[in-house]
Structure 1
Amino acid sequence: MRLVLQLVARLLLIVALCLGAATIWATFDAYRSVDRSTAASAQRVAQALQALYWRELLLRSSRAREHLLPVPDWRTLETMKLISPGVCVEFQPAAAFEKPLCGQSEGLGKTPPRWFAAIVPTFLGSHAEVVRPVSPRAATAGTVVATPDAAAAVSLAWEYILNVIDVALLMAAAIALLASLAIAHALAPARTIVTALQRMARGQYRTKLPRFRSMELAMIGGAVDELGGRLEEATEQRAALTRRLIEIRDDERRALARELHDEFGQNLSAILAFANTIETASTKDNRDNGIAQDARMISQATHHLMASLRDALKRLRNPLPEELGLEASLVNLVDSWRSQSAARPTIQLDLRGDLTDISGPAATTAYRVAQECLTNALRHGTAREISLRIERRAGEDDALLIRVEDDGGGDAERVSQSAGFGLTGIRERVTAAGGSLSILPARGGLSVAATIPLAA
């Protein structure tokens, strides 16, 4: 999962938790606000009745005090305005058949669902009535009793919650959107860093990253730049070392070729001359034909050894591209395999692009790869048809593609993991040239492809 999505998901979870906490707090505050409204209503009505009580008391004199209960004319429109919605006020001692004076409750908020009306009183408890004396100095003046309406309290709480949730949802959506944009903007440089690492994985180590404002991302960018520089230096050193090793190995091959030619070649020629002399002498003297037969067998074995020695010398001496050029040397290589035996598989040579100006290490590497792949296909497989394709890709990717396919079976995975000298050698050559080598299954056999950049 992408980091941006993870951070946004966590942010949404935090917003949801905050929204839930706000909802619970709003429910509690709205439900308990009825208690505050009840106390306020009781206090306001008590103060109004206190003023009414003392006014009537002064007008009637103290002898008529017993006639002031209940306070005359307290059930007025002015008193009704002092009572909050959902609260009922009663004067004590009450007159016979007197009903409480209640605030407006009809249309007070939306009707809450049944589950809300059942859960809120269960967890938050019921409301208590509020008692206030009409006059603290006259205990006989009576009291005001304010009682909240439970249904109205639940309706008010539900209405308050709906209003709070609407605002909270809008704020949560705005916060989530703005925070997501901020997170995406803050993590946008990470995509640049990933792209640089991908280019480094493809071999483009010198990847300069822009300067980041964030200190952490700037440190990561600096580390990536430093890593790219070190990888490029290490790759150049390894390539130089590999090229030097290949040069040393080629020198050793040339020296070995000279030794084989001078020592084995001369000795084999001498053995062949001695065998011919023995065969000729035995035939002239009419001696036992067994000696002549043995001499002929020695001559045949010597010819076979000399042919094998010539093949080894061809492989060990300097490659033909240095003498004939890449195109002519490839044609000569294929023709030499074709001329050895008519029973060998069909070899198709496909040359594409301009190969005339390819020389030096690139031409040598291409020739060695084609030579080794053809040798492996002919000696270690049962192929009936082998295709050798050399293509030059011009343009920005100026590179040489060598592909050898056969239908002789073989396990591509096992061959790619092989540590044979031939395959290891061409891997080293291709790597030293800055190219790549791949071994993949083909139709009925194997496909070995090597890419050698010519610009390097």
Structure 2
Amino acid sequence: MWNRPRFDLKVRLTLRVAAISAACFAAISAYFLITADRAAHTRIDDIAAIVAKTLELQQGKIQWVASPRSDFPNLDPVSTYVMTPGLCLAFRGTSGDILQRFCSGAPIPASPPPQVFTAFYHGLFDPGREAVRPVIVRGMRLGEVVVSVDPAVQTADAWHEAGRLMLALAIALPLLCVLVYAALARALHPTRMIRTGLEQIAAGDLSARLPPFDLAELSAIRDVFNHLAESLDTALAERAELTRKLIALQDEERRHLARELHDEFGQSLAAIRALAASARQTAAQDCPSLLGECDGIARTATGMMETLRGTLFRLRPPDVEELGLVASLEGLVAGWNGRSRGETRFSIRFDGAFESLPATISASLYRIVQEALTNAAKHAGATKVSLALAMSPSEIALAIDDDGRSHDPATKSGMGLLGMRERVAALRGRLSFEASPNSGSALRVVIPLPAADQPVLERAA
């Protein structure tokens, strides 16, 4: 299944803030350029109006004094006050000819605008537009004033102002990203604690709790998390207690069944053997041909007694509390080595002191090992089974490895493995069953020790 790439939330939010900030800077720059263009056009319109009014006054003065010498139009007086770099003043007569023109030189810019900006600015605005004002005296149109600005000068001025904004953007945007990332990292720091708590819950540590947070949203998550952890802890504790009671009831039923089999079937088989021996004595005197049948009955009864003895051993193993876990497991392994007749080799290794181990844990470990050995020998067809039992002050670890058929469904399911899972769950432990890296199967069981027993275990160790 295709998975989308994952991005860090801080990086994603920082990039979004940077994109929004850049868009805002772009909008501000566009607004500034539009405003600057309007201001430039308003300025040349005002200059055109001033020049036109000045020429009208010049013409009125000439007519008032009735001077035969006419120096109209004269742009020199007004040009002294309004001329700026790149500005052009001109008077166009009624015939359309330019009668007088003044243009100030445009300085060479230190950093000319790029061609891309020039094309963009010329396409968006009209920097070479002329401002025209008519010169009218006593109702007679004498001509018109034409004012314009060199497009290169206006473009250079716009680029200079835009460059200042771009410089501010180049400085402010990275600084803003750093500050936003730092603020987000600080604000999202509790998410690491939430993730750690979830990982602890997933690992089975239901004692994990989250501390109070400053943010209301994270505090709500913290309340839900802690409530969930407490609910799961309570539910698992109740389940473990129920499982413990069911296992205790199951063990009691096994002991009762073992007593019934021993008392009823055992005595009956012993009686059959006695009767077969008596019948053999009688047949030896009166009917020798029945000796074979009597011996067959005796052998059948003996075989049934051996089978019954093995069944009783499985139903009611030796008292682990009296013999101890180490001795009981060593006896179990020795029994399997004896019954397998060399076909399967069983070995066991201990690490730690198990004398002060609670009886409930010892009995459950014995049953788990018993089921695991049966599963490996009968279902997986293993030729080598190794057991390792290690104890620390906080937990007990059981490892069982074999070289059998790990792909056999019977080794991964069935009542045996289900019973092991139930016993491990009753002790609040963890069980894993998987294929071994080389061949065969690997069973791992970890059972935590009660806190009240830890000082005793440490002194015993």
The answer to whether the Cα contact below 8 Å between 1:48 and 1:79 also exists between their aligned partners in 2 is: no
- CA offset at residue 257 of structure 1? 0.9
Partner in structure 2 of residue 272 of structure 1: 273
Query: Which residue type is aligned with residue 123 of structure 2?
Result: T
Residues 244-291 of structure 1, C-alpha deviations (whole Å, 9 max, x = no match): 111111111111111111111111111222222222322333521xx2
The answer to whether the Cα contact below 8 Å between 1:69 and 1:141 also exists between their aligned partners in 2 is: no
Whole-angstrom distance in 2 between the partners of 1:104 and 1:39: 20
Whole-angstrom distance in 1 between the partners of 2:411 and 2:194: 32
Query: Which residue type is aligned with residue 39 of structure 1?
Result: D
* Percent identity of equivalent pairs: 32
- 1:253-292 maps to which residues of 2 (within 5 A)? 253-285=254-286, 287-288=288-289, 291-292=290-291
- 1:222-261 maps to which residues of 2 (within 5 A)? 222-261=223-262
Extract unaligned runs of 5+ from structure 1: none
Q: Which moved more, 1:4-13 or 1:357-366?
A: 4-13
Change (3 A) 1:125 1:295: farther
Query: Which residue type is aligned with residue 272 of structure 1?
Result: R
- 1:20-169 maps to which residues of 2 (within 5 A)? 20-46=26-52, 57=62, 61-64=64-67, 67-71=70-74, 74-75=75-76, 79-93=79-93, 100-108=101-109, 110-125=111-126, 127-132=128-133, 143-169=144-170
Whole-angstrom distance in 2 between the partners of 1:322 and 1:89: 116
Instruction: Decide which of 3, 9, 20 is 1:3's aligned counterpart.
Output: 9
Whole-angstrom distance in 2 between the partners of 1:51 and 1:202: 96
Whole-angstrom distance in 2 between the partners of 1:26 and 1:199: 56
- CA offset at residue 342 of structure 1? 2.6
Instruction: Decide which of 423, 426, 442 is 2:420's aligned counterpart.
Output: 426
Instruction: Decide which of 397, 400, 404 is 1:401's aligned counterpart.
Output: 397
Q: Which moved more, 1:368-377 or 1:316-325?
A: 316-325
Q: Which moved more, 1:83-92 or 1:239-248?
A: 83-92
Partner in structure 2 of residue 301 of structure 1: 300
Query: Which residue type is aligned with residue 348 of structure 2?
Result: L
Extract unaligned runs of 5+ from structure 2: 1-6, 452-461
Partner in structure 1 of residue 456 of structure 2: none
Whole-angstrom distance in 2 between the partners of 1:429 and 1:179: 53
Q: Which moved more, 1:24-33 or 1:441-450?
A: 24-33
Whole-angstrom distance in 1 between the partners of 2:58 and 2:355: 121
Query: Which residue type is aligned with residue 399 of structure 1?
Result: E
Whole-angstrom distance in 2 between the partners of 1:52 and 1:389: 117
- CA offset at residue 431 of structure 1? 0.8
The answer to whether the Cα contact below 8 Å between 1:30 and 1:156 also exists between their aligned partners in 2 is: no
Instruction: Decide which of 14, 17, 35 is 2:20's aligned counterpart.
Output: 14
Query: Which residue type is aligned with residue 8 of structure 2?
Result: R
The answer to whether the Cα contact below 8 Å between 1:386 and 1:404 also exists between their aligned partners in 2 is: yes
Change (3 A) 1:125 1:90: closer
Change (3 A) 1:129 1:270: same
Which SS does the other structure have where 2:357 is aligned?
A: coil
The answer to whether the Cα contact below 8 Å between 1:405 and 1:446 also exists between their aligned partners in 2 is: yes
The answer to whether the Cα contact below 8 Å between 1:415 and 1:439 also exists between their aligned partners in 2 is: no
- CA offset at residue 61 of structure 1? 4.6
Which SS does the other structure have where 2:188 is aligned?
A: helix
Residues 162-182 of structure 1, C-alpha deviations (whole Å, 9 max, x = no match): 222111232322332222222
Which SS does the other structure have where 1:64 is aligned?
A: coil
Query: Are 2:182 and 1:181 equivalent residues in the alignment?
Result: yes
Change (3 A) 1:403 1:206: closer
- CA offset at residue 88 of structure 1? 0.9
Query: Which residue type is aligned with residue 255 of structure 1?
Result: H
Query: Which residue type is aligned with residue 281 of structure 2?
Result: T
Whole-angstrom distance in 2 between the partners of 1:37 and 1:109: 25
Change (3 A) 1:66 1:140: farther
Whole-angstrom distance in 2 between the partners of 1:188 and 1:139: 81
Query: Which residue type is aligned with residue 403 of structure 2?
Result: D
Which SS does the other structure have where 1:67 is aligned?
A: coil
Q: Which moved more, 1:135-144 or 1:4-13?
A: 135-144
The answer to whether the Cα contact below 8 Å between 1:334 and 1:349 also exists between their aligned partners in 2 is: yes
The answer to whether the Cα contact below 8 Å between 2:127 and 2:154 also exists between their aligned partners in 1 is: no
Partner in structure 1 of residue 439 of structure 2: 444
Partner in structure 2 of residue 332 of structure 1: 331
Whole-angstrom distance in 2 between the partners of 1:51 and 1:308: 137
- CA offset at residue 34 of structure 1? 3.4
Change (3 A) 1:204 1:89: same
Whole-angstrom distance in 2 between the partners of 1:23 and 1:109: 22
Change (3 A) 1:416 1:331: closer
The answer to whether the Cα contact below 8 Å between 1:345 and 1:386 also exists between their aligned partners in 2 is: yes
Whole-angstrom distance in 1 between the partners of 2:359 and 2:137: 116
- CA offset at residue 363 of structure 1? 0.9
- CA offset at residue 215 of structure 1? 1.6
Aligned residue pairs total 443
**TM-score w.r.t. length of structure 1:** 0.87
Whole-angstrom distance in 2 between the partners of 1:360 and 1:374: 21
Query: Which residue type is aligned with residue 337 of structure 2?
Result: R
Q: CA RMSD in A?
A: 2.8
Query: Which residue type is aligned with residue 277 of structure 1?
Result: S
Partner in structure 2 of residue 372 of structure 1: 371
Residues 173-217 of structure 1, C-alpha deviations (whole Å, 9 max, x = no match): 233222222222222222222222222222232333222222211
Residues 393-446 of structure 1, C-alpha deviations (whole Å, 9 max, x = no match): 23xxx211111111122227x45751x111111110011111111112123211
